[in-house]
Amino acid sequence: MKSRISALLLGTVLAFTAANFAFAQDKTVKVGALSDQSGLYSDLGGPGSTLAAQMAVEDSGLTGKGWKIDVISADHLNKPDVGANIARQWFDVDKVDIIVDVPNSGVALAVSNIVKEKNGIFIDSGAGTSDLTNAQCTPNTIHWTYDTYMLAHGTGSALTKNGGDTWFFLTADYAFGAALERDTTTAVLAAGGKVLGGIKHPLNTSDFSSFLLQAQASKAKVVGLANAGGDTTNAIKQAAEFGLTQGGQKMAALLLFISDVHALGLNTAQGLNFTETFYWDMNDQTRAFSKRFQERMKNHTMPTMVHAGVYSSLLHYFKALEALGGNPHDGAKVVAKMKEMPTDDPLFGKGSIEPNGRKIHPAYLFEVKTPSESKGPWDYYKLLATIPADEAFTPLDKSTCSLLKK
Amino acid sequence: MQALYAQLLVGLINGSFYALLSLGLAVIFGMLNIINFAHGALYMMGAFCAYFLLNLANIGYWPALIIAPVAVGIFGMILERTLLRWLTGLDHLYGLLLTFGLALIIQGIFQNYFGSSGLPYSIPDALKGGANLGFMYLPIYRGWVVVFSLVVCLLTWYLIERTRLGAYLRAATENPTLVRAFGINVPRMITLTYGLGVGLAALAGVLSAPINQVRPQMGADLIIVVFAVVVIGGMGSIMGSIITGFALGVIEGLTKYFYPEASNTVVFVLMVLVLLVKPTGLTGRAN
């Protein structure tokens, strides 16, 4: 009898505490920056993304208003299974609310599924595949910085219209490469061009000479690089060596980050055309952020668009949390709030998030400066054209996202 | 058919890196009985050394070809004196784990300061440009790499298999006590041998700097393939590792032509096949 009473008491107490928790304004948040911390994508995301997340926490001003926000990070090693396991552990054990960054589309797609299952939040900045807001969209995922559709329509269409009407692809053999090649092919065909062929190379290839010889033999006017990071820089460097560019072929780096341009050096990279959504030297606000970022970065690099995306997406997330008055720990609910609010941040300006999770902002077609045009360190880009926000990304009526079908 | 010739030649170029690296590994394993997993990291240090020489001291490619291997070789000898020496007589596993740990630490340090994208290093002016061979455009630098590494490989083979010094070395691995009785300083010889093996790795690093980016992970990506080369060629066999290095480069090149997706795995498929048929490797002898 006695034990029964105490059990009853205990139950009541527990019930009350639980109810109390539900009513209290929970102001704790845990952000997980999941990235490639050591491999070929670690300079475009990696430690820089963790830093960007921390800066977003500081700049949000929430900690001064009684919020407790932690940022943790982990290395997914570019392996979808590793990334998925970390995500699972973060939600189950570490009680992470939101996962940011995640370059490598293969990992991003795996993580997106788990985030949906756990009703967490996933704001992707580092991965490119447009599938995240099309066939594989979820109510818990927002795709922030760029995607393969944007890259294809920015660089692909521009080059084709400028006379580069025959293409040969060197494609990284995984989800991102496949998506980028597919989207670029569509853009090239739409602009009246032709695709002569392509090669799928393994991720993280150091020697491209065999592939470049085949690209050379194809006689295509444009060699499209549907890869990223170290793969892109190696391919560009070796293309110069094998005389592809002297032979009149144009290299199209479909995805190029400032870290890649820095690694190549202007001598090799000059003249490359590519599309990005952020450059440190755009206006006073981007310069101010980038300078602060550079000072705190261990190897003093400028932020890539991925870093910028992590920063600005978290700022928007914190605004949504503030508007909700507390952290409901309900991913879908917060994401819905984020979609409802217009975005406005120092790095990407005004924008919005579409119902399929696609963040909309302008994209920029850049060209790498020649060494004589560059006025100092990190002065690398020349703006060729601005693609307005409503044209840069997949139009909603063409998106295959199931969230759009009512 | 033209394309095939081109791929064969490109394979030979990659093969020369495999040969140089696996040669160093074979020398170290043959003489010291250490499975040197730090080889990739030391190769990377060679490339970084060339980069530092150029950017900090304005010393170009040609002197770097000598200075970098010597400098990294000295670093290797310090490692041998201070760390590896204690493992003499222990199971191979200890050496493997120690050198593997060293590799991770060295790569981690470089990654921390230089990031993963790498640093540019341009081709020396004398070797810029290329020659049209009819079936392909051969960058002169790549041709130089093949010729130079072939010469270095053969010199090393000659040094160890055909000279008196090499004979001492081989004798010292068979029976150190007896060789010491002849008044030969065996520990010093072992240190120098490790230095030689490491120097070969650093030399390969300098050679590769103008081709690939100078990256902290450049060795980690390569070392696994090179170990497969050593296993296929037969652990410790000098000539075996040279020939296998070039041969595997060519086979890999052909795979890149016929079925690019498999180019990362073909070496390991071959390794499995060789191990199944001849566990001591193609030129290895059973103990």
SS3 A371: coil
Classify residue B228: in a domain, yes or no. no
Q: Is A267 on the interface with B (CB under 8 A)?
A: yes
One CATH from 3.20.20.70, 3.30.1330.20, 3.40.50.2300, 3.40.50.720 for A27-146+282-361:
3.40.50.2300
> Do the domains A149-279+363-392 and A27-146+282-361 match in fold?
yes
Q: Which residue of B has its CA nearest to A258?
A: B117
- Check CB contact under 8 Å for A260 and B117: yes
pTM of the model: 0.85
Q: Which residue of A has its CA nearest to B127?
A: A241
CA distance A61 to chain B (A): 30
- Contacting residues of B for A205, CB less than 8 Å apart: 263-264
- The Cα–Cα gap between A51 and A368 comes to 26
Residue A242: name the closest of B213, B124, B218, B140 by CA. B140
- Check CB contact under 8 Å for B116 and A205: no
CA distance A148 to chain B (A): 21
- The Cα–Cα gap between A357 and A343 comes to 13
- The Cα–Cα gap between B86 and B95 comes to 10
SS3 A42: coil
Q: Residue B282: what pLDDT?
A: 84
- The Cα–Cα gap between B172 and B166 comes to 10
| CB-nearest partner of A206 from B2, B117, B212 | B212
Mean pLDDT, range B145-165, rounded to an integer: 93
Q: Is A75 on the interface with B (CB under 8 A)?
A: no
Q: Residue A245: what pLDDT?
A: 83
- Check CB contact under 8 Å for B115 and A301: yes
- Contacting residues of A for B117, CB less than 8 Å apart: 43-44, 229-230, 233, 259-260, 262-263
Residue B236: name the closest of B155, B148, B174 by CA. B174
Q: Residue A20: what pLDDT?
A: 47
Q: Is A104 on the interface with B (CB under 8 A)?
A: no
Query: Which CATH number is associated with domain A149-279+363-392?
Result: 3.40.50.2300
Q: Residue B10: what pLDDT?
A: 87
- The Cα–Cα gap between B171 and B225 comes to 30
Strand duo A381-387 + A363-368: pairing: antiparallel
- Check CB contact under 8 Å for A211 and B256: yes
From A86-100, A371-385, B71-85, B257-271, the region with the lowest mean pLDDT: B257-271
Residue of B12, B116, B144, B250 to mutate when probing chain A, most A C-beta within 10 A: B116
Classify residue B8: in a domain, yes or no. no
SS3 A195: strand
- Check CB contact under 8 Å for B114 and A299: yes
pLDDT band of residue B209 (cuts 50, 70, 90) is: very high
From A41-45, A391-395, B175-179, the region with the lowest mean pLDDT: B175-179
Q: Residue A108: what pLDDT?
A: 97
Q: Residue B162: what pLDDT?
A: 92
Q: Is A237 on the interface with B (CB under 8 A)?
A: yes
CA distance B31 to chain A (A): 31
- Check CB contact under 8 Å for B137 and A210: no
Containing structural domain, residue B181: 14-216
| CB-nearest partner of B113 from A210, A216, A299 | A299
* Portion 130-159 of A in contact with B at CB < 8 A: none
Mean pLDDT, range A115-137, rounded to an integer: 96
Q: Residue A185: what pLDDT?
A: 96
- Check CB contact under 8 Å for B118 and A233: yes
- Check CB contact under 8 Å for B113 and A199: no
Q: Residue A23: what pLDDT?
A: 45
| CB-nearest partner of A201 from B114, B257, B260 | B260
CA distance A8 to chain B (A): 56
Whether pLDDT at A24 is above 60 = no
Domain count, chain B: 1
- The Cα–Cα gap between A143 and A112 comes to 10
- Contacting residues of B for A269, CB less than 8 Å apart: none
Residue of A173, A213, A245 to mutate when probing chain B, most B C-beta within 10 A: A213
Q: Residue A9: what pLDDT?
A: 57
Residue boundaries of the structural domains of chain A? 27-146+282-361, 149-279+363-392
pLDDT tens digits, residue range B112-145?
A: 888 888 888 988 999 988 888 888 888 999 999 9
Whether pLDDT at A246 is above 50 = yes
| Integer CA distances (angstroms), B269 to A250, A287, A382, B266, B274, in order | 36, 51, 47, 5, 9
- Contacting residues of A for B130, CB less than 8 Å apart: 241-243
Spatial contact of A193 and A248, defined as CB atoms under 8 Å apart: no
pLDDT tens digits, residue range A190-224?
A: 999 999 999 999 888 888 988 999 999 899 999 99
Residue at A388: amino acid letter: P
CA distance A257 to chain B (A): 10
Q: Is A30 left (phi over 0), alpha (psi -120 to 50) or beta?
A: beta
pLDDT band of residue B260 (cuts 50, 70, 90) is: confident
Q: Residue A11: what pLDDT?
A: 56
Q: Is A242 on the interface with B (CB under 8 A)?
A: yes
CA distance B2 to chain A (A): 10
| More confident: B29 or B195 | B195
- DSSP letter string over B173-237? HH-HHHHHHTT--HHHHHHHHHHHHHHHHHHHHHHHTTTS-B-TTHHHHHHHHHHHHHHHH-TT-
Q: Which residue of A has its CA nearest to B257?
A: A210
Whether pLDDT at B34 is above 60 = yes
- Check CB contact under 8 Å for A42 and B111: yes
**For A378, phi and psi rounded to 5 degrees?**
70, 5
Classify residue B204: in a domain, yes or no. yes
Strand duo A359-360 + A349-353: pairing: antiparallel
Residue A334: name the closest of A3, A31, A9, A111 by CA. A31
Of all residues in chain B, the percent with pLDDT exceeding 90 is 52
Q: What tokens does B92 get?
A: 């191979």
Q: Is A40 on the interface with B (CB under 8 A)?
A: yes
Classify residue B115: in a domain, yes or no. yes
Burial of A11 (0-12, 13-18, 19+ CB in 10 A): exposed
Pairs across A and B, CB distance < 8 A? 116
Residue A268: name the closest of A234, A217, A307 by CA. A234
Radius of gyration of chain B (CA): 19
| More confident: A154 or B176 | A154
Q: Is A265 on the interface with B (CB under 8 A)?
A: yes
Of all residues in chain A, the percent with pLDDT exceeding 90 is 82
Residue at B175: amino acid letter: N
Whether pLDDT at A12 is above 80 = no
- Check CB contact under 8 Å for B116 and A267: no
CA distance A234 to chain B (A): 6
Q: What tokens does A351 get?
A: 């924008």
Residue of B111, B117, B224, B251 to mutate when probing chain A, most A C-beta within 10 A: B117
Looking at every residue in chain A, the average pLDDT score rounds to 91
pLDDT tens digits, residue range A284-310?
A: 999 999 999 999 998 899 999 999 999
